[in-house]
Amino acid sequence: MTLASPIVLLSGCVGFGEEYTRVAGFSNRDVGAIVLKGTTQHPRLGNAPHRVWETPSGMLNSIGLQNPGVDAVVNRILPTLDRSETRFFANACGSTIEEYVEVCRRFDDSPIDAIEINISCPNVKEGGTSFGNFPDASAQVVAACRKATKKPLIAKLSPNQTDIQENARRCIEAGADALAVINTLMGMAIDVDTRRPVLGNIQGGLSGPAIRPIAVLKTWQVYQEARKHGIPIIGQGGIVSARDALEFIIAGATAIGVGTALFYDPLACRKINAGLAEHLDRNRIGRLSDLVGSLAPATVAAGACG
């Protein structure tokens, strides 16, 4: 699959793809793909407020997968999207493997370009633990979805696990065509005056520049496995500039995801594209793909300590 830009707009940050068409100066031509909002089999109202809370260099969110259900997305929303300028990826969510399968089956019979599997959803049959935190559970979800669709599958990996590289290997073996690295980290905010959690769901996903160093490391770790199989990575987590994007690309990402930055700079993508082009020109690099996984070995000076 060829993208017109290395930038992918991340699920949950642009609704179902129509929100940013109302922003003056924004163009779908600035992005290679848009990941639609997380979609479940049946409609969901989402979590109680508060759902979003700003943090230093980031944001906590606990939306709770509010969406109209996969039938409404396929029948009412997808036909309204302008697919002439960019690609659209679905984001499949579920509380059981059977729900993931049904969502993927419905998207398989649609014009969507690919399906991202949000394996960070809670597994209700296992006490609410996340599918994405355990390689066995992640692989089971990917394998089941692989049987339900011929669309390209992107496994969105959770950072809230012990060995993300092993999880990546299992997802690839189960049939993932690409990997998205990383999903949000779990966090919490407390109102010190009331001594109560700020978020209605108590905990939420932390995104934004605060998590970028972690996301870069996880991208590099996953790349060590993905490159063996020729599997591309969408690197994501706190990207707000071309320099941020280049860190992920050098660590092994083929494309980069932008999300939280759009909340305070809706035109960030245009600036990132321009910065990437300028970097290539200045360093006489022919293609952005020449930088993928180009991290040089670290060196340690003799006598260094601490």
Question: Which are the contacts of 139, defined by CB distance < 8 A and separation ≥ 6?
Answer: 170, 171, 173, 174
Is 80 exceeded by the pLDDT of residue 299? no
Where on the phi/psi map is residue 72: left (φ > 0), alpha (ψ -120 to 50), or beta? Answer: alpha
In 3D, which of 68, 77, 18 has the Cα closest to residue 44?
68
Largest CA distance in the chain: 65
- Positions annotated as catalytic residues are 121
For the chain, what is the mean pLDDT?
94
Tokens of 170: 């299992």
Tokens of 59: 């944001």
Q: Tell me the one-letter amino acid at 264.
A: Y
pLDDT of residue 305: 55
Per-residue pLDDT tens over the stretch 12-70: 999 998 877 778 888 888 999 999 999 999 999 999 999 999 999 999 999 999 999 99
Taking the domains of the chain in order of start, what are their residue ranges? 7-291
To the question of domain 7-291 being in CATH 3.30.750.24, the answer is no
State the burial class of residue 273 (Cβ atoms within 10 Å of its Cβ: 0-12, 13-18, 19+): buried
Tokens of 167: 């999880």
pLDDT of residue 207: 97
Per-residue pLDDT tens over the stretch 236-282: 999 999 999 999 999 999 999 999 999 999 999 999 999 999 999 99
What are the Cα distances from residue 7, in Å, to 219, 236, 248, 263?
16, 10, 12, 16
pLDDT of residue 158: 94
- Quote the pTM value: 0.95
